[in-house]
Structures are given as structure tokens and as C-alpha cells.
Amino acid sequence: MNEVPTPNHRHTLGVTRRELLQVGYSGLFGLGLPGLLARQARSAETGNGRPGRAKQVILVFLTGAASHHDTFDMKPDAPAEIRGEFRPISAATPGLFVCEHLPQLAARSHLYSVVRSLSHRDNNHLMSSHHVLTGHLQPGAFFDKVASRDDWPCYAAACDYLKPRHDGIPTGVNLPTFLREGPLTWPGQHAGFLGARHDPWQIASDPNLPGFQVDGLHLPQGVDISRLESRRRLLEEVNRQRRTIDDAAESRRMSDDQQLAFSMLASSRLAQAFELEREPDAVRDRYGRHSFGQSLLLARRLAQVGVPLVQVNMGRVQNWDNHSDIFPTLKNRLLPPLDQGVASLLDDLSVLGLLDETLVLMLGEFGRTPKISNAGSPQPGRDHWGPCFFGLFAGAGIRGGQTIGKSDAIGAYPVTMPYSPDDVGATVLSSLGVNPAAEVRDRLNRPVQLNKGQVIETLYTGRSA
């Protein structure tokens, strides 16, 4: 079965994956840690002649795709059916104009670069999300092709495979939304053909909810480290005897998982990162008491404890998919909390001295059509548009205060060198010290090149290609 396992997916042992984890952790440990998976001992050096500078990456994903015309690539001189209802305001970067509803990001443009010539050929949410979140076209892609184990690995999974960690800190965390709608599970969220052991950890709860917590990251009442160690020795003996009876691959993986569970539980760093109540109220208020703001605050805390890649999905699966009612939706519901949260994230990373080692990028899976659909109607919108969209990049050696690339007069196509999601992928991987051209093995054990893009060098050099 090629589809990504659902919560009820059954393994060959006849139990669900969740049940396996519960048996491994709860039954033998008295714990409730859900599945953070094991690491594979494999690494690679950075390609493209650039040493990896980022220790962490925070990927702010605008689920459903934000309109570039109404955010960072406005066309005030275009006809009304192109330019839309918002007016541009001057950013701190000379020559950069952004939407009036992004004033905080406009004031901080010296911290980031905007690429306005991202481009690909797809207009489908699933295929395009896979491309942007993996840096590779979806194998066997077709309209609404759901996630499968034939997919390319997401960035966190590739890092986990090539630069594994052994300190109990997961390589990747996605939050706060799992991208699924009805029967459709978005590709690009998983390890694909690298296997479930490299999947990033998914947090599927809103950090802004009262009493937010992530189950399984604390020792249960009455269990201290010494008792945990005694249970570990007991478990190792059980596992040793079990392996003489059944050397199944699933059993071996459970042993790896259990070691990681102990490593995590013996250290409080990761658990404390999720305790947002440790932050002063003023800080939480500054990010915004909404899902966008608190998710970005949590991302900053996870970066602080060393999680290499945190993906923050800004809203529901198709939150920014504004085919209708686009201007009130952006003005009242989407742009203000995004502006507040991302600006606070950049401020904090800068003040804490983390921006130099943390790559922040913000983008969606594509752009929106130049011409407003249903123009003149009470609820106009913009449709899907892959040929041109924007990305925001900051930190980890990125030169701030730049606008890179240019679109035509109506924002339909780049008129300078286009950059593909493959190039975004090469930039992310290279920044983390992973060679984009590294060889990995697909499900048939065939050697394949991880990424075929090129690092967007002008982000670092300031010299346009």
C-alpha cells in the first residue's frame, strides 16, 4: 500500500502503529510518548561550495497560497481588475512597496529579502505543495495525487536521513495543522520513500488554545529518572529475548524508538519548549493571541532548543485559497495576524542573536491570478497561478533589504531569471549543511539525486543573476 499510513493503518504485526508505540512506551515504561522515530547514521557535506550556516530553519507556509499581487508584488499602476483594492506602502528597503496591511513587515524589510520571481508550471494545490515542501516534482504526479510513500522526502526528512541526531531532539516538527481535507492528504509533509522512521513530528493542536500541551513529553507522576532507568534495563532484556524469537524489521525499529524516547524524557529541553506559559505575557501578546502568533512563538522556542527544521502552517489546509471574498478576508482575518507574528519572530531572533544561525522563509505553493475573478461582483477573488509568486527569506547569511527578481507589469510571469521550488530546496538544504546533490535510495533501492536545483546565490551575495 503506497499511501501514507492513516491513524488506523495496520502493520504486518496486526496492530496499528499507535498501538505499537503505546505497547512500547506505555505498556513497558508506563509512559505515553507518541512516535518520534529513529535516526539513520548517514551524513553528507554541503554542496555548491557553500558551508552550511543555518543551525535551524523555520518555514512559514502560507497554506493555499497567498496572493503576491496583494502582499509583496503589488501592481498599483495596473488596471483595476489587476491591482485590486489595497494600496502599497513604502518598506524600509528602497524601491520595495508592500501591502498597507503589512506595516510591521514593511518596517523590518532590512532583515529579509523578497524574491518576486519564483515560478513553476503547476496550478494544483497537492502537486505544488509537494514541489515547494520537498524541492522536487512529485513522482507520478497528477491532479490531486495524494501523499504516498513514493513521494520525495520533505526537507526535515532529508536532513534526518543524511544528518541524523542522537540527542533526543527531533530533526523536524510540523505545526499546528496537518494538511488533510476529506480524502486528500497533502504530499510533502512526510519522508516519502525514505520511510516513516524519518517523518517529521506532527503537532496537530493549536498553541493558542487554553491549556495547550503536547502529550508524552513529561514523565508521568511517580516516575523519576532512576525508575525510568530501571525500566529501561528491563525493557532491554525483554527486547534481547524477543529478538532471538522474532528479528522482524518492525521489532528493530521499536528498539530504536524506545532509545529515542528515553533520550527525550531524560532531558527537559524539548518538553520545556512547548510550555508557552513560560513566556512573559507581554511576549505572547506581542506575537498575538491567535493561532498564527502563538505557532510562530512556539517555532522560535523549538529553534532555541535546536530543532533543525520547524514548519509552521499558517492556517487550515486552504486558508489562503481566496477564490472569492479575497479583500475582506486578507484585510480582516489573514494579513494582520501574519504581519504581527512574523515581525515578532524576526525581532526575537535578531535580539536573541539567533537570526544569524536561523533561516526563515515564508511562501505558499504558488501565486494567484493577475486578473481578479468575478471582478465587479460582491465577492471577487483570485485563482491559482504557478508561473509567478513570491518568497521571503531572512537570516543565516541572507542579505536583508533586497528585492530579487521582477515580474511583468501585471504580475503574470517573471521578466528576470525565474527560480523554481527546486532552487528553494537547494537553498534550504545547503543552508543546513546538506549537499543538495547527495545520493539517496528510493523504495526500489535505486540511487537518486536528492535535489537538482541551484542555491539562490543572490540571496547571499546581493548580486542579481
Q: Write b or e for each residue in 217-245: b if 16 or more Cβ atoms lie within 10 A of its Cβ, otherwise e.
A: bbbeeeeeeeebeebbeebeeebeeeeee
Residue 75 has pLDDT above 50, yes or no: yes
Return the pLDDT at 297.
98
Return the pLDDT at 449.
98
Return the pLDDT at 317.
86
Average pLDDT over residues 445-450: 96
The DSSP secondary structure of 74-132, one letter per residue, reads --TTS-HHHH-SPPEEE-SSTT-EEETT-HHHHHTGGGEEEEEEE--S---HHHHHHHH
Return the pLDDT at 167.
83
Q: If you count them, how many residues does the chain have? A: 465
pTM of the model: 0.82
Average pLDDT over residues 208-215: 88
Residue 106 has pLDDT above 70, yes or no: yes
Report H helices in 305-361.
326-329, 335-351
Burial class (CB in 10 A: 0-12, 13-18, 19+), 432: buried
Average pLDDT over residues 439-445: 94
pLDDT in tens, 158-197: 999 999 988 889 999 999 999 999 999 999 999 999 999 9
* Beta pairing partners, 394: 112, 360
Return the pLDDT at 271.
87
Bigger pLDDT: 8 or 61? 61
Average pLDDT over residues 284-293: 98
Residue 103 has pLDDT above 90, yes or no: yes
Return the pLDDT at 465.
46
Average pLDDT over residues 277-288: 97
pLDDT in tens, 228-246: 566 666 666 666 665 555 5
Average pLDDT over residues 91-116: 96
Map out the domains of the chain with their CATH numbers: 26-461 (3.40.720.10)
Residue 26 has pLDDT above 70, yes or no: no
| Crossing angle (nearest 10°) for helices 335-351 and 291-304 | 20
Return the pLDDT at 350.
97
Residue 410 has pLDDT above 70, yes or no: yes
Let me know: does 217 contact 260? Beta carbons within 8 Å. Answer: no
